[in-house]
């Protein structure tokens, strides 16, 4: 069963637009929510992460919005650039056992 659901499967935006990637989870014990990105032929790498004590985390053009009540979180990429084209994975972990569970990924394409 997919413990972390991610949508859309693929997303195409124009350069300068905001890309929005969504995730939801079921397990209430999850308390750490990172996003990883993976460029073609490379390994996943941490992009940004949030803990439920906050409902928003910003790092430059990347922002996580977190809704604990609805068990949803999203990644907003502002002013999208062609270099942002990659696969993005949301994840969730329980910091009691550090078991990281990933979503199925969103393949983002930014068109110039």
Partner 1 sequence: EAAVTQSPRNKVTVTGGNVTLSCRQTNSHNYMYWYRQDTGHGLRLIHYSYGAGNLQIGDVPDGYKATRTTQEDFFLLLELASPSQTSLYFCASSDVPNAETLYFGSGTRLTVL
We find the least distance from the C-beta atom of residue 72 to partner 1, in angstroms, to be 17
Here the tokens at position 37 are 């990105």
Stretch of residues binding partner 1 (CB under 8 A), selected from 10-18, 57-65, 67-75, 87-95 = 87-95
Kindly tell me which of 12 and 81 has the beta carbon lying closer to partner 1.
12
Kindly tell me which of 13 and 104 has the beta carbon lying closer to partner 1.
104
We find the least distance from the C-beta atom of residue 63 to partner 1, in angstroms, to be 19
| Residue 48 touching partner 1 (CB under 8 A) | no
Among 63, 75, 103, 110, binds partner 1 (CB under 8 A): 103
Stretch of residues binding partner 1 (CB under 8 A), selected from 10-18, 59-67, 70-78, 98-106 = 98-106
In 1-112, which ranges are E strands?
4-7, 10-14, 19-25, 33-38, 45-50, 56-59, 62-67, 72-77, 86-94, 99-102, 106-111
| Residue 98 touching partner 1 (CB under 8 A) | yes
User: Quick check: 101 and 93 in contact, CB under 8 A?
Assistant: yes
Give the count of beta carbons closer than 10 Å to the beta carbon of residue 22: 17
Cα distances (angstroms) measured from residue 31 to each of 58, 73, 80, 82, 99 = 18, 12, 28, 32, 11
Beta bridge mates, 5: 24
Interface with partner 1 by CB under 8 A: which residues? 3, 6, 9, 32, 34, 36, 43-46, 49, 89, 93, 95, 97-105
């Amino acid at each position: 069963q997919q413990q972390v659901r991610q949508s859309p499967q693929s997303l195409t935006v124009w350069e300068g637009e905001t890309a929005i990637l969504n995730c939801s989870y079921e397990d209430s014990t999850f308390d750490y929510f990172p996003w990883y990105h993976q460029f073609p032929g490379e390994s996943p790498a941490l992009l940004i992460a949030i803990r439920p004590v906050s409902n928003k985390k910003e790092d430059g053009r990347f922002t996580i919005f977190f809704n604990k009540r609805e068990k949803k979180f999203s990644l907003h990429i502002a002013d999208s650039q062609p270099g942002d084209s990659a696969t993005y994975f949301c994840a969730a972990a329980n910091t009691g056992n550090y078991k990281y569970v990933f979503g199925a990924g969103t393949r983002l394409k930014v068109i110039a």
